[in-house]
A = this chain, B = another copy of it.
Amino acid sequence: MERKCNNLPFLILMQTSKAIHERIKEEMAQNKLSITEFSVLEVLYQKGKQTIQQIGNCILISSGSMTYVIDKLEQRGLLSRNACSDDRRVIHVTLTADGNELMNVIMPKYHDFVNQMFESLDDDEAETFVQLLKKVRNIV
């Protein structure tokens, strides 16, 4: 029986990224945030005011999910919706003071956490790694 998967790079890549995803999920559960919620807050923290669509494009989820996740975060007082005066279809989203404060606490820990996961690679290895990943990504 035993038919094998023959593409090792593929297998290990998917295993590794899934493991990382799980770890981040656990980490964020401590802050009562799903990964999607964290991703939204992260975009706002990094880029400041964004439209709902801009955020959706960044984190690649559907418009229906965006409405849902923005609702949740708004209810918790971590961000606010603001009408756009130029284009009344558009809604701007920004972190509230509470949201910003929370991210000031979370982000340094998050960066440390991510860096730890990759500290087994020295600078040369990291560069090679990125270069190989980009080769793959450009084809996908």
User: Which residues of A come within 8 Å of B, CB atoms?
Assistant: 1-10, 12-21, 23, 45-48, 60, 107, 111, 114-121, 125-126, 128-130, 132-140
User: Cβ of A60: which chain B residues have Cβ within 8 Å of it?
Assistant: 18
Complex partner residue of A111 from B7, B21, B119, CB under 8 angstroms: B7
- Check B45 against A3 for contact (C-beta < 8 Å): yes
Question: How long is the Cα–Cα vector from A18 to B17 in the complex, in angstroms?
Answer: 9
The 9 closest A-B pairs by CB, nearest first: A17-B17, A1-B48, A16-B137, A12-B133, A19-B140, A120-B135, A129-B132, A3-B46, A120-B139
Residue in chain B with minimal CB distance to A10: B114
- Check A111 against B8 for contact (C-beta < 8 Å): no
- Check A46 against B2 for contact (C-beta < 8 Å): yes
Distance in Å from the Cβ of A130 to the closest Cβ of chain B? 5
- Check B121 against A9 for contact (C-beta < 8 Å): yes
Question: How long is the Cα–Cα vector from A117 to B18 in the complex, in angstroms?
Answer: 18
Question: How long is the Cα–Cα vector from A128 to B121 in the complex, in angstroms?
Answer: 12
Question: How long is the Cα–Cα vector from A54 to B16 in the complex, in angstroms?
Answer: 20
Distance in Å from the Cβ of A109 to the closest Cβ of chain B? 14
Distance in Å from the Cβ of A100 to the closest Cβ of chain B? 11
Distance in Å from the Cβ of A83 to the closest Cβ of chain B? 21
User: Cβ of A45: which chain B residues have Cβ within 8 Å of it?
Assistant: 3
User: Cβ of A135: which chain B residues have Cβ within 8 Å of it?
Assistant: 120-121, 125
